[in-house]
Amino acid sequence: FRLSEKVQNIFKVGLSAIFFTGISVLCTSLFSLMKVTVDDLLFMVPFFLCVTLVLFSHCWFGNELIYKSEGITASIFHSNWVGSNMATKKVLLLFMTFTKRPVEMKLGGGLFTMSIPLFVSLSRTAYSYLTLLKKFEK
């Protein structure tokens, strides 16, 4: 997991900035969509969809990373290890022990895991902020 920690250290600041900026962009885009003319919709709707797609794709691949890494231990167990020598069995057992915990990309200092539930939570939060903005607008 040292490699996953190195990758996470490289990307955590950038991905956190993308997500925290993305939620505010989603909220303000939704708020702006309520007041624009038809001509402005031609720009705003694709922009909103692109931001949503960026956030969703990051969450999707984070979810895939978790899903695929959870299957490593089972794949090792179901491999043809029975006929192997004792040294190979010990190495495989050690490797299985290290791969029990799934690899996750953390955001916001480790508070959030990049996954589909995070995207759903971000969408709900953006909608909540939108309703809050609508109340203050009046």
Q: What is the pLDDT of residues 5-25, one digit of tens each?
A: 787 788 778 888 888 888 788
The Cα–Cα gap between 115 and 118 comes to 5
Per domain, the residue ranges of the chain are: 2-137
Map residue 8 onto helix, strand or coil: helix
Q: What percent of the chain has pLDDT over 70?
A: 99
The per-residue pLDDT for range 98-119, each reduced to its tens digit, is 888 888 888 877 788 889 999 9
Segment 52-64 mean pLDDT: 92
Tokens of 58: 């990051």
Note the pLDDT of residue 1: 58
116 compared with 138, residue with greater pLDDT: 116
Torsion of CA 25, 49, 133, 111, to 10 degrees: -50
Query: Do 57 and 96 touch, CB atoms closer than 8 A?
Result: no
For residue 31, the number of C-alpha atoms closer than 13 Å in the C-beta half-sphere is 18
Note the pLDDT of residue 63: 94
